[in-house]
Structure formats: C-alpha cells, structure tokens
Structure 1
Amino acid sequence: MKTTVLLVGLGCLLAGPARAQMEPTAGEWKTWVIPSGAALAVPPPPSAKATRAEAQTVLALAQRRDSASRQLIRYWNAGAPGYRWQAISESLLHDPVTMWRAQALMNIAIYDATVAAWHAKYAYRRPGPDARHAEAACVAHNSSPSYPSEHAVAAGAASAVLAALFPAKADSLRQLAADAGRSRILAGVAYPSDVDAGFELGQRVAAAVLERAKTDSCDAVWKGAVPTQAGLWHDKRAPVAPMRGHWRPFVLTSGRQFRPGPPPDYAADMQELKTAKRTPATMGQAFYWASYDYWGEMLNRKLFETGQYLDAPRAARAYALLSVAAFDAGVACWDAKFTYWGIRPDQYDPSYQPVLPVTPPFPGYPSGHATLSCARGTVLSYLFPEETQLCDAKAHEAAESRFDGGIHFRTDNTVGLALGKKVGLEVVKRARQDGADAPAPRKVASR
C-alpha cells in the first residue's frame, strides 16, 4: 500500500512547482481592517494523538485519489490561495463600479486573514502531514507551518465576502470554498483541522471587513439632478454611480483629496478629435481596452514569473494593493466627474460619431480608464520595479484608447493620468509602511 501511495505522490510531485517561501514575519505585517494579525485568537491545533488519527485519514485519502480528486487538486493548486477567487469574483460581476468594490473587499479580507493565519502558523509551528508522510503529498511541499491552512483561510474570507454581496450565489460560493479546503487534504499537505481552523479564521476576518463595508457609504442614494446648463454632460439615461465620489476610500482622506481643477473649453480638443486619423490599430486599441482587464492579468503573470504565487502572504498583499488602487482611484475620479459634469465629445458636437458604439452614461472628465490604469500601473511598478517602463507605457496606452474610441477628449485622459498617479503613489506610500519591505531577520548561528 505504501508503495502505491508513494508512486501516486511522486507522479503528482513531478508536475508540481518548486518549494514555497515561508515569510516567517508576515504575521506582523500591517493589516487593513482587523487591528493586527494577532487580534483574532486561533485555538491551538489538536493533540499529538488526534494529529496521528488525522494523518491516517490523509494517507487513506491519498491512496484513493481518482481523476476527479486530482483535477480538484490541480485547479486549486494552480496559483496563490487567492488566485482562483479573482476569476470567481469577476464571473459574478457585470458592472465595473460594483466590481472594484467587491474585489477590494474580498482581497483585503484575504490579505488580513492571511496575515492572521501567519501569526498563528508561527505561534504553533505545526508541521503539515507531508513533513512526516511525504509519500502522501501530491503537490510541492510548503515549508511554512500548516495550521491554519492558507488556502482555507482565503476560501473562508473570499466566499463569505462574496456571499454577502451576492446572496443568490451563496450556496455555490460555500461549495467552492469547501472544495478549496478539501483539495489541500486530498493533496496530502493539510490536516482536516488545518482546513477547519483556516476556514473559520477567514470567515471571522470577512465579518470584520463586511462591518467596515457598512460604513463606506456605497449604499448612499443620490438626491441630486443632472444639470441643464449648456456645455455640461447630459443624457437621457440615468447617470451611473453619481455618489461614488463620496464613498469612503481606503488610503485617500476623501474622494476630493486630489480633485483636479475644472475642465477647459473643449473647442480645441473637439477639433483634434475630429481630425484624428482612424486606423485599424487605433480602433483595435479602443476595443481592446474597453473589454480587457490588462492590469489584473499582468499581476497574475508577474506572480507566476517571479515565483511569488508560492508566497501566500506576498501574493495576497499584491492582490489587495492593486484592488485598493482601483477602488480609491474610482472614488477620486467620480468625485471630479460629478463635481464638474464634463461633457462627452458626441454631446459637445452631435454630428460626431465615436468609434465605440456606446458612450458611458456618466460625465467624461476625467477619464476613468486613465485614472484607474495609472493608479494600478503605479502600484505594479512598485511591486515589480523591472516593469516600470512597461506600466507607464500601458497606462498611457489605456488613456489614449479612450481618445481613439472617441468617447473622451485628450484633456480628460491627461488629467486622469495625473490623478491616477497621485492615488497610486498614496497606495504605494501605505504599502511601504506595512512591514513587508523590511529585511528578513538574520539567522543567528547556534553555539
């Protein structure tokens, strides 16, 4: 039997990634919502006798792995613990305004829960089942302690946040969370009690994040009216999220902290737009940036390229920082949009036909694509300094795509890029203070 289990384990390990990093000080990193990683007490792991019984369960499951269980393991082991939850959250969202809030809350919950998990891991230092029974492991050994499970922590946090925001999907989200935790037991790298403790911790952190969400003013009702003065934005459709600029940000003091000055007269901008040459390349860029989340995909790619997908705390931090940048940049952008009610090109000159078939139903100044792209690009430049030039170029490309699409004046984009840069730098300033950039503690040789 042991030989059979060993062959099964080796077959999976040959396709597995390299040894994961530990981040032993991650439990001390600064959190977003909970007071600290130590704030939520995690009970001790089971006794040695109970652990031996759990080990037998893990070994028995390893022996009975079938194609379905291997597929489940591969799916949840493909990236960082929060990796699959990015796509899961996106599948629930069709409104980008709602998406940035939901993903910020979810990724903050995953990050805070991961920090709390790391505090408990290094308080108890419980080895995983693969430390003693390597033959049972179906994925690469994770050198951090196993209690509580980081995959279960992420699953508990993400599923609880998303279930609260999308109650109609609560049952399916809970099932996904259960699958994520079970995959680690089936893979032979977590005890059932690791998963149970992780899931409970993730849910507790999610509850704190959801309490904070009740105070973010995202449910405020707009009681204003669309202005009727000539030269301002007007539309038969109701404006989208007119109160977004009043939402409570995470790093900014308020949406108006970096509010730009008013837009200019758009006569020169309109002439530039009308005389701009349309080519397959410019039209392709317009449609590409209108429908693709480049920045989220870039983060996933860089985590894989740099091996940081193996580092659960650092990956969770990156997802949270990028989500916060998008959320706060959206708040700052919408504050300016509904302060100035900047007109759109096809409203300024009704004879003008944009490339993009639908003009967004909210004011144009400043550009949301420019603001959010520069904010997110600035954060990614901090996380991956070797990509600074690329991030800057892509932010400008995203902004220019809105000019190419005919739905923004160039001024909208220029001001949006400047606003996004200021927001992104505020997020980076906060990141530099969270402890993750501190040098790793030196090992002292024993005497």
Structure 2
Amino acid sequence: MNKLLILIIAILSIGTSLQAQLEPGAGNWKTWFISSGKDHRLPPPPAYKNEIGQVLLAQQELDSAGWQQLLYWNAGAPGYRWADMVNKLWMSDTGYNGALANMLVGVGIYDATIAAWDTKYAYNRPRPFTTDKRIKVYVPRPESPSYPCEYSVAAGVAVTVIGNYFPAMRDSVNKMAQQLMAARIAAGVAFPGDTRAGFELGKTIALKEIERTKGFTPATAWDGKMPQGPGVWKGKRPMFPLAGTNKTVVLESSSQFRPAPPPDFAKDMEEMKNYKQTFGTRANAFYWASNNFWFDALNQKIFEHNLHLNPPRAARLYAFTAIGSYDGFVACWDAKYAYWGQRPDQYDTTWRPLIPTPPFPGYPSGHAALSGLMGELYSYFFPADKVYFRKKATDAAESRFQAGIHFRSDNDVALELGRKVAAAIIQRAKRDGVAEASPLAKGGDR
C-alpha cells in the first residue's frame, strides 16, 4: 500500500512539473531581426543560494513605494507598460523615427523573449519562492524557469530603443527599468542575477535590431517640392512627406498595394454636404478622433484570454501588431504622397469639418487603413470576435467621413489597403511555426 501511495505521489509530481512548463518550445520560435533564440543563449546562471538572502532582504524592506512599483510592473505581460509608453511617444512624434521605434520595441521584445526562453529551458533555474520557504510570492506564480527574468528582458529592449530614438527620455526609462528589476526581486519571482542577465540580454538584442534596421527611414530631407494644379492637396508644412519611402518589414515595398489614383471628388463632396448628422454620428466622429481603440482592444483581449501570463504569446501579439502598424502606416503614406489627394475643406472652401483637418493629404485615410488592417489582424488572432473587430474597422473609417475630413472614397480604398497589408502579415504568422492559441485560427474562413 505504501509503495502504491509513493508511486501515485511520484506520478502526480511529474504531472505537476510538466504542467508548470510554460511554452518550453518557445525558444525555437521563428524570430524577426536575429538569427534565432539559440544563437543568443546566455552562459549558465550563478548559484542561487548566494542570492536567497538578497531576495529576503528586498522583501523585508518593502515599503509603500515599493509595493506601488511591484503592483505597477506586475500588471500585464512583460512588454505591456513599455508598449503603452512607446505607442504614446510615437503618436506625439513629429519625426520619422516614431513609427520605427514603436515597431522595434514590439519586435525587439518578442525576439529577446524567444532568446530568453531558449536560455530558461537550457538551465531550468528554479524561481526564488521555490528555493526557500521564507521567500513569499506576491504576484501570480510564473510557470517558467527563473533565469533570465523575462520582465527585465523587455525592459532592456525598451530602454535601449526608447533611449536611442527619444534621447531626452533616456535617464527616465533607465530609472524605470531599475525600479522594475527591484520589483521582480521583491515579488519573490526573480533573483538579482536573473534581472541583471535579462536586462543585458534585452539591451544586446535591441542594439542588434537597431543596427539591423538602419536605413529603414529617409536619410535625406524632403526637397519641399509639391505638385501644382487642381485637385491636389495644398498646405505649408505637410507631415511625413517621405514616410512612404521607409523600408517595410513584411511587405515587399511600400507601394506593393498602392491603390489606383483618386477620383474626381465632385460626387463625394455632394454626398458629404447632404449628409444628415445625428448625435450618434457626431459621437462616433469624436470617439475615433480622440481614442486609441486598437491598442486598448489588444490589451483587453490579452487579459481576457489570460495571455498576459504567457510572455512568449503576448510578445508575439505585440510584435505582429507593431509590425502591422508600421507597414500599414508606410503603405498608406506612400499612397498619400503619390497622389496628394485633396481634403474636403480644400475642394470646397466653404466646407467646415467637425474636427480640425490633419496636415497631410487625404487619399487614402490613415485611420481607415490602419483600422482595416487591425480589424483583420485581430480577427485572425481572436477569431471569435471577428464580427466585432470588422465592425469596429468600418466604424473607424466612417468616423472620418462623419467628421468631415475625409471623402468616402478615401475611406473605402484605405480599408481595402489595410486588409491587403493584414493578409500579407497573417501569411507570415502562419509560417512562423507557432500553433495559434485559438483552435479557430487554424485556417478557413474567419
């Protein structure tokens, strides 16, 4: 009887151990700007027994400020806070590097996470809370080895990319990274050696990816030449006139899906002037002009599917979204400055739009292009919500017509452009060797 009981306990222990392995094969997933995760495997970790006392001391010294940092950095996947930060920086950036920085944070964290997962399962270092019963765990228990710390990996990438493209932020983001690493130690889920190694790995990957993407943005200044004649956009300082010359990641070129030239906007203008606004149409226009729906929706879905507890899968979603934003932006701006399509308040100078007109050509609509792209991308990754996301894409496009700053033609071609870019990115996702989390995303009509 005792032998049987021991056998049952042993079998259960093995099963529990296997269940605690989170994505043990993620170290083999296909990367973007590095050769592979294995090529960046770290040397063996130091003996953790020498670091147990440091973890205990960190927990003993936790004060209210420390608890705030612990709770702040534990929210979401390792890249969540950094993706939110660079997304906002990009939206406020007036140069050409904002979109590139946003893309590199997403892709860099993914590539570095894959490298980290290769190292984790090469050495299987235990988490602090499993090595000494005095160590408490103050966050959800990670189901992966401790070395290197995945949150520190993300911090190393983000600090390096943000510091490179937004140098005024360098000191601030470095301080934040130190707070993050201290928080992971105090939480009982990482040894100091795990955080140091993770941070350095993230920095190394980010530097390689910054070097790899040199030349992605224009090296020369815009010559200031604008087309003349009827039907073209006119303005003093057009924004991002060379963005369409950026090198793309998935697309063969920025012009791969360039739409046909814009039509004469006479019918579009007549439709706009005859459009009957309602409270709902105005609300839709203001909503999409003032909210970053797609980033918020991605985070919501990651939380709903508990993918924030799965760093490799969360990083993959952030990476594909960042690449979609980048390639979609470049493709849309290629078309904008290929045609210099006129805005409604230029076509008819008596027209007064509901919101200020952006300082760049109208055809095709940027909001509609990126929404068409994200609607399809999210429908692939979260197929149960495809009707919802596709409806949101059309709502976003319609909002620009309702706001009076885009003709319907601008929106229609932009939605199609975005969907084509998304289709190319989805094909890349199907070839990266990762089984989708949802069984509904394995092909077929979504």
Contact 1:364 1:408 survives alignment (8 Å): yes
Alignment-derived partner of residue 9 in structure 1: none
Counterparts of 1:234-245 in structure 2, within 5 Å, are 234-235=234-235, 237-245=236-244
Contact 2:381 2:436 survives alignment (8 Å): no
Contact 2:98 2:165 survives alignment (8 Å): no
The residue type paired with residue 256 of structure 1 is S
Contact 2:332 2:365 survives alignment (8 Å): yes
Counterparts of 1:82-161 in structure 2, within 5 Å, are 82-93=79-90, 94-95=92-93, 99-134=98-133, 135-161=135-161
Task: Give 1:388's match in structure 2, choosing from 339, 363, 386.
Answer: 386
Question: Secondary structure at 1:136's aligned position in 2?
Answer: coil
Counterparts of 1:285-304 in structure 2, within 5 Å, are 285-304=284-303
For 2:231 and 2:312, how far apart are their aligned partners in 1?
A: 49
Report how far residue 230 of structure 1 moved.
1.0
Question: Secondary structure at 2:351's aligned position in 1?
Answer: coil
Contact 1:21 1:310 survives alignment (8 Å): no
Alignment-derived partner of residue 404 in structure 1: 402
Report how far residue 435 of structure 1 moved.
1.7
Alignment-derived partner of residue 341 in structure 1: 340
Task: Give 1:62's match in structure 2, choosing from 59, 66, 74.
Answer: 59
Alignment-derived partner of residue 73 in structure 1: 70
Report how far residue 258 of structure 1 moved.
0.6
Check if 1:359 corresponds to 2:369: no
The residue type paired with residue 413 of structure 1 is N
Instruction: Give the stretch that moved more between structures: 37-46 or 311-320.
Output: 37-46
Alignment-derived partner of residue 196 in structure 2: 196
Report how far residue 39 of structure 1 moved.
1.9
Alignment-derived partner of residue 246 in structure 2: 247
Structure 2 gap segments, 5+ residues each: 1-18, 439-446
Instruction: Give the stretch that moved more between structures: 95-104 or 288-297.
Output: 95-104
Contact 1:160 1:206 survives alignment (8 Å): yes
Structure 1 gap segments, 5+ residues each: 1-18, 441-447
Alignment-derived partner of residue 260 in structure 2: 261
Alignment-derived partner of residue 281 in structure 1: 280
Contact 2:70 2:183 survives alignment (8 Å): yes
The residue type paired with residue 89 of structure 1 is V
Instruction: Give the stretch that moved more between structures: 71-80 or 283-292.
Output: 283-292
> Structure 1 length normalisation: TM-score?
0.90
For 1:428 and 1:23, how far apart are their aligned partners in 2?
A: 21
Alignment-derived partner of residue 211 in structure 1: 211
For 2:87 and 2:338, how far apart are their aligned partners in 1?
A: 30
Check if 1:306 corresponds to 2:305: yes
Contact 1:21 1:142 survives alignment (8 Å): no
Gap change, CA 1:99 and 1:378, over 3 Å in 2: farther
1:178-200 CA-to-partner distances (Å, cap 9, x unmatched) read: 11111110101100000010000
For 1:325 and 1:91, how far apart are their aligned partners in 2?
A: 16
Question: Secondary structure at 1:127's aligned position in 2?
Answer: coil
Gap change, CA 1:439 and 1:292, over 3 Å in 2: closer
The residue type paired with residue 67 of structure 1 is S
The residue type paired with residue 53 of structure 2 is Q
Report how far residue 136 of structure 1 moved.
2.1
Report how far residue 219 of structure 1 moved.
4.1
For 2:142 and 2:302, how far apart are their aligned partners in 1?
A: 17
Question: Secondary structure at 2:51's aligned position in 1?
Answer: helix
Instruction: Give the stretch that moved more between structures: 129-138 or 222-231.
Output: 129-138
For 2:119 and 2:156, how far apart are their aligned partners in 1?
A: 16
For 1:212 and 1:402, how far apart are their aligned partners in 2?
A: 36
Contact 2:262 2:339 survives alignment (8 Å): yes
For 1:20 and 1:337, how far apart are their aligned partners in 2?
A: 50
Instruction: Give the stretch that moved more between structures: 20-29 or 137-146.
Output: 20-29
Report how far residue 30 of structure 1 moved.
0.9
Count of aligned residue pairs for this structure pair: 417
The residue type paired with residue 348 of structure 1 is Y
Report how far residue 221 of structure 1 moved.
1.9
Report how far residue 99 of structure 1 moved.
4.0
Alignment-derived partner of residue 331 in structure 2: 332
When the two chains are superposed, the root-mean-square deviation of aligned CA atoms in Å is 1.7
1:115-147 CA-to-partner distances (Å, cap 9, x unmatched) read: 100011011111111122354211121110010
Report how far residue 399 of structure 1 moved.
0.3
For 1:92 and 1:100, how far apart are their aligned partners in 2?
A: 9
1:68-108 CA-to-partner distances (Å, cap 9, x unmatched) read: 22111111001100111123224534138754332111111
Gap change, CA 1:272 and 1:225, over 3 Å in 2: same
For 2:67 and 2:192, how far apart are their aligned partners in 1?
A: 18
> Structure 2 length normalisation: TM-score?
0.90
For 1:374 and 1:353, how far apart are their aligned partners in 2?
A: 27
Contact 1:153 1:202 survives alignment (8 Å): yes
Report how far residue 220 of structure 1 moved.
3.7
Report how far residue 64 of structure 1 moved.
2.9
The residue type paired with residue 78 of structure 2 is P
The residue type paired with residue 58 of structure 2 is L
Gap change, CA 1:111 and 1:343, over 3 Å in 2: same
Percent identity, aligned pairs only, is 48
Instruction: Give the stretch that moved more between structures: 247-256 or 281-290.
Output: 281-290
Alignment-derived partner of residue 10 in structure 2: none
